[in-house]
Amino acid sequence: MDLISRIAQANGRLKNGGVWVRIEAKGGRLYLRATLPPRLGSQKNGSYQQRIALGYGINPNNLSNAEKEARLVGSLLDRGEFSWERYVDTETPEIVEQWVERFTQSHQSKVSKTTWRTEYQQVFKRLPLDQPLTTEVLLRAIEATEPDSRQRKRFFTTLSSLSKFAGLELDVSCLEGVYSPKAVSPANFPVTKLNPHRPPPPTLSQ
């Protein structure tokens, strides 16, 4: 049985047991998802759907540990005793370079070499590879591009995919813009029409 099926079965057991926490796989890592109180330092007031990074990869042993952790989280939530302090270490984000490498391994073979070079590499090389991958880093990269441009559209699409792959809660829909290739199409350039009644220019004498 593959690990995706195992995760589905684990989530089924959690649901049947009245545990409202789910296990997810993102970017080769295991996460828990549930309605949780705001993280430390968050500006939000009430609980909302969030992920908990467990800090380990996907394999049968870790999946078993994830299910146990999900039951613990569910119990803590039921008692009103859940705290993010328990996950300070596992929530520490990995650097951009590590996530880009994982994304490359997972996605590069799905597109052509030209598409990968122009739509992905051109974006990734503009990121601070030695910094932790956070929503703030991705937002700054998108905001640094010209609004409604082809580059903004490229950064929006690629970094949205990267954030989803890394399990980040990134909402950048307001930054997508309204770029359209028609705006720069040669077909839209004005055409100068010649006046058929205009006399031809004089020829130069030899």
Summarised one tens digit per residue, pLDDT across range 56-80 is 888 999 999 999 999 999 999 999 9
Q: Phi-psi category of 19—alpha, beta or left, where left has phi over 0 and alpha has psi -120 to 50? A: beta
62-75 burial, b if ≥16 CB within 10 A, otherwise e? Answer: bbeebbebbeebbe
d(CA 79, CA 5) in angstroms, rounded, equals 31
d(CA 173, CA 160) in angstroms, rounded, equals 9
To the nearest whole percent, how much of the chain has pLDDT over 90?
Answer: 48
- Angle at CA 133, nearest 5°, toward 127 and 139? 65
Summarised one tens digit per residue, pLDDT across range 169-198 is 777 665 655 445 554 444 444 444 555 555
Two tokens at 96? 């951009």
For 35, which DSSP code?
A: E
Two tokens at 82? 């859940």
d(CA 136, CA 141) in angstroms, rounded, equals 9
Summarised one tens digit per residue, pLDDT across range 125-170 is 999 988 888 888 999 999 999 988 999 999 999 999 999 888 887 7
pTM of the model: 0.55
Q: Phi-psi category of 41—alpha, beta or left, where left has phi over 0 and alpha has psi -120 to 50? A: left
Summarised one tens digit per residue, pLDDT across range 18-28 is 999 999 988 77
d(CA 177, CA 174) in angstroms, rounded, equals 7
